Amino acid sequence: QKEVEQDPGPLSVPEGAIVSLNCTYSNSAFQYFMWYRQYSRKGPELLMYTYSSGNKEDGRFTAQVDKSSKYISLFIRDSQPSDSATYLCAMSELEYGQNFVFGPGTRLSVLP
Amino acid sequence: DAGVTQSPTHLIKTRGQQVTLRCSPKSGHDTVSWYQQALGQGPQFIFQYYEEEERQRGNFPDRFSGHQFPNYSSELNVNALLLGDSALYLCASSPSLAATGELFFGEGSRLTVL
């Protein structure tokens, strides 16, 4: 079993749809959870950062963490064609340091 | 304000050769990490440099080595290249060891090993 798993995708949705992207993990020591967006031929860029369980909202994006189930989600409301990218979840045991464990990514296409 | 810059963007090597990849962190950042991203996979942590020292290392063999210079720029060296080393190599920087998720990635160096 891989340490972090994501819905395999690819995922295609119509413009305006609500998108749900999910990751599961096995290491109960993870405390810091992140979502990155990666456009084709670009490096990942940070979308959301959360600590421990709970929800965090930023504009059209909402991140949820359920540590008891070892499950995290990213919701995108009113999806736009510009949201078409690969979404990577990442996790860390420590607040400091950069040894993040990434999921394999889910490729999302938002169709106009 | 320049972000993280990496060079070269693409390169092709043959098995057994050695390669050096270069990274300049975002202005004001002093901590650099390197990640390997195979096709269709998420990035995997190679190592992190701070104050010119390797601070953390992922599960990569000693063929992977690095260096950080006084101006905070960094190099990744890979010796005795294998076909499996073909990947996108990403450099990431942050303002300090206190990353709190704020990793800024470059666009990567795509290495093909034939």
Tokens of A56: 């965090």
The pLDDT tens digits for A62-80 are: 999 999 999 999 999 999 9
What pLDDT sits at residue B97? 63
CA B16 to chain A, closest CA, distance in angstroms equals 27
What pLDDT sits at residue B95? 81
Which residues in chain B have Cβ-Cβ distances shorter than 8 Å to A93?
none
C-alpha–C-alpha distance, residues B17 and B63, integer Å: 11
Beta bridge partners of B76: B21, B66
Beta bridge partners of B93: B32, B104
Tokens of A71: 């499950």
Q: Tally C-beta pairs within 8 A across A and B.
A: 74
Tokens of B70: 């006084």
The answer to whether the Cβ–Cβ distance between B41 and A105 falls below 8 Å is: yes
The answer to whether the Cβ–Cβ distance between B106 and A49 falls below 8 Å is: no
Query: What is the mean pLDDT for each group of 10 consecutive residues in chain A (112 residues)?
Result: 85 96 94 93 90 89 94 96 96 77 95 95
Residue of B40, B42, B106 lying closest to A102 (CB–CB) = B42
What pLDDT sits at residue A25? 96
C-alpha–C-alpha distance, residues B92 and B4, integer Å: 7
Residue of A44, A45, A97 lying closest to B43 (CB–CB) = A44
The pLDDT tens digits for A50-62 are: 888 889 999 999 9
Which residues in chain B have Cβ-Cβ distances shorter than 8 Å to A43?
4, 90, 92, 105-108
What does the angle CA B107 – CA A13 – CA A88 come to, to the nearest 5 degrees?
A: 35
